[in-house]
């Protein structure tokens, strides 16, 4: 169906110098590029893109489309916080595509500019002066013209301009696709493994297509190996700090227990030393008592010897002193 629509649009463009003017959102009046930049690019009344002289009003979105888009953008922002490889921009910031058959000015719903891109994206640039490395469009499905613009026309324009990857989000699940340029400069779908798309422009950035519709929350994604390496970096940092603090608390508790055990061991050794000192004191007291008893016995023996000597002298058995 897409190929048939592409062929039909190609036939329609032959007589219009590359312009697709059918549909309610395209003006028939020719608008020079200079006038577009001056009057329409930053129009506060309505958003416009410019297609080789024709104004194309940007369609409005709805809540379901916005929530899918927001889930994807939040995931990409988390990745770029962990892996700062690029800058992203939206808010109707446009870029100019000088194509072989025409010139257009497009405002992708999301643009990615690698830090290696030869034309950097400045902080205060109101348009991007180079070619985005990745463009994302949230499919406008208010009419077949709007669908064709995102699915066919912009795909061809972005490929011809050299946008390396083109992501198309369709909340209905019909046209969601993720393209990458091949060597011939033609978009081909990025390969999927178990439903997981991996960007070639942003190494390490990957996501599960089904999750665009399920929109798991960051806590679920942190436990998912597809996202665990980059999702919710601030939450992960807080969790890591909490785990580190808990580990430090456990280490402090372990050291306190070790110190308490050493104190108990020291107390037991002191008690043992005190017991040995008391035993030594008791032994010393016993030795002193034995010494006193020996001394008293010696004194008694000495007195008896003196008495015997006195009696023997009195009996004339010993010479007088």
Q: What is the pLDDT of residue 166?
A: 98
| Strands 134-138 and 103-106, sheet pairing | unpaired
What does the pLDDT profile of the chain (321 residues) look like in tens digits? Answer: 454 555 445 444 434 444 444 443 555 699 999 999 999 998 767 789 999 999 999 988 899 999 999 999 999 999 999 999 999 998 789 999 999 999 999 999 999 999 999 999 999 999 999 999 999 999 989 899 999 999 999 999 999 999 999 999 999 999 999 999 999 999 999 999 999 999 999 999 999 999 999 999 999 999 999 999 999 876 665 566 656 657 676 777 878 788 888 888 888 888 888 888 888 888 888 888 888 888 888 888 888 878 877 877 777 777 776
One domain, residues 218 and 242: no
The verdict on 130 and 7 lying in the same domain is yes
Residues 236 and 180 in one domain: no
Sequence-distant contacts of 62-67: CB under 8 A, at least 24 apart: 64/171, 65/138, 65/139, 65/169, 65/171, 66/138, 67/215
pLDDT at residue 236, as a whole number = 61
Q: Residue 5: its pLDDT value, please?
A: 55
163 and 27 part of one domain: yes
pLDDT score at 23? 43
Handedness of CA 106, 107, 109, 114 (dihedral sign): positive
Based on the domain organization, do 212 and 238 belong to the same domain? no
CATH of the domain at 46: 3.90.1570.10
Q: What pLDDT was estimated at residue 14?
A: 38
**What are φ and ψ of residue 157, in 5° steps?**
-65, -50
Same domain, 28 and 168: yes
- The residue among 227, 246, 261 that closes a domain is 227
* 159: its two tokens: 């490929």
> How much is the pLDDT for 273?
82
Q: With a threshold of 0.75, does the pTM exceed it?
A: no
If asked whether residues 179 and 319 sit together in one domain, one would say no
Q: Is residue 143 domain-shared with residue 240, that is, in the same domain?
A: no
Task: Kindly give the pairing relationship between strand 94-98 and strand 127-128.
Answer: parallel
The number of distinct structural domains making up the chain is 2
Query: 157 lies in which domain range?
Result: 2-227
CA distances from 317 to 302, 308, 320 (A): 19, 11, 9
* 222 and 245 share one domain: no
Which of 166, 195, 227 is a domain's end point?
227
Do 191 and 318 lie in one domain? The reply is no
- Check residue 104 and report its DSSP letter: E
pLDDT value for 319: 79
Q: Exposed, middle or buried: residue 89 (CB in 10 Å: 0-12, 13-18, 19+)?
A: middle
Domain limit, last residue, from 227, 242, 271: 227
Q: Are residue 58 and residue 144 in the same domain, yes or no? A: yes
Let me know whether 38 and 104 are in one domain: yes
């Amino acid at each position: 169906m897409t190929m048939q629509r592409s062929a039909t649009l190609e036939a329609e463009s032959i007589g219009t110098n590359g312009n697709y003017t059918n549909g309610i959102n395209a003006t028939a009046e020719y608008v020079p590029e200079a006038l577009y930049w001056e009057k329409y690019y930053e129009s506060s009344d309505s958003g416009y893109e410019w297609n080789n002289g024709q104004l194309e009003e940007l369609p409005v979105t709805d809540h379901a489309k916005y929530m899918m888009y927001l889930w994807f953008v939040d995931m990409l922002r988390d990745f770029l916080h962990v892996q700062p490889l690029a800058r992203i921009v939206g808010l109707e910031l446009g870029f100019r595509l000088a194509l072989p058959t025409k010139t257009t000015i497009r405002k992708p719903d999301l643009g990615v500019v690698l830090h290696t891109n030869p034309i950097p994206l400045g902080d205060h640039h109101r348009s991007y002066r180079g070619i985005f490395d990745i463009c994302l469009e949230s499919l406008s499905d208010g009419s077949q013209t709007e669908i064709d613009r995102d699915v066919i026309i912009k795909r061809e324009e972005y490929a011809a301009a050299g946008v390396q990857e083109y992501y198309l989000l369709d909340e209905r699940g019909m046209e969601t696709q993720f393209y990458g340029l091949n060597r011939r400069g033609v978009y081909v779908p990025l390969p999927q493994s178990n439903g997981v798309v991996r960007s070639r422009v942003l190494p390490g950035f990957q996501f599960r297509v089904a999750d665009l519709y399920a929109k798991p929350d960051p806590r679920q994604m942190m436990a998912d190996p597809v996202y665990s390496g980059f999702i919710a970096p601030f939450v992960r940092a807080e969790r890591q700090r909490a785990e580190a603090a808990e580990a430090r608390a456990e280490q402090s508790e372990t050291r306190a227990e070790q110190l308490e055990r050493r104190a108990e061991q020291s107390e037991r050794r002191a008690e043992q030393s005190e017991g040995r000192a008391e035993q030594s004191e008791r032994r010393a007291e016993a030795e002193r008592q034995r010494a006193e008893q020996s001394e008293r016995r010696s004194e008694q023996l000495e007195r008896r010897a003196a008495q015997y000597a006195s009696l023997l002298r009195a009996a004339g058995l010993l010479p007088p002193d």
